[in-house]
Structure 1
Amino acid sequence: MSEETKITQIGVVVRDLDATMKMYHQLLGWGPWNVYEHTAPVLHDTHLHGKPATYSMLCAEVMVGDMCYELIQPLEGDSIYKEWLEEHGEGLHHVAVMKHGQDAADQFKKDMDAAGAKMLMGGRIGETIEFYYLDSEPQLKVILESGTGHAIDLKPIRTYPA
Structure 2
Amino acid sequence: MQEKKLDQIASRLKEKQFTIPTDLVGAILFFALGAFLFLIMPEQVSVSESDVVNGRVFPRLLFLLMMICSLILIIQNVSKLLRKEPVQTYTFHLLTEIKALLILGILIMTYLICKVTDLFVLGAVFCAVSFLLYFRCRKKSYYVITLGLAVLIWAAFCFGLNVKF
Q: TM-score range by the shorter chain?
A: under 0.3
Select the structure that is richer in helix.
2
TM-score normalised by the chain length of structure 1: 0.19
Greater relative CO, 1 or 2 (CA 8 Å, sep 6+): 1
Select the structure that is richer in strand.
1
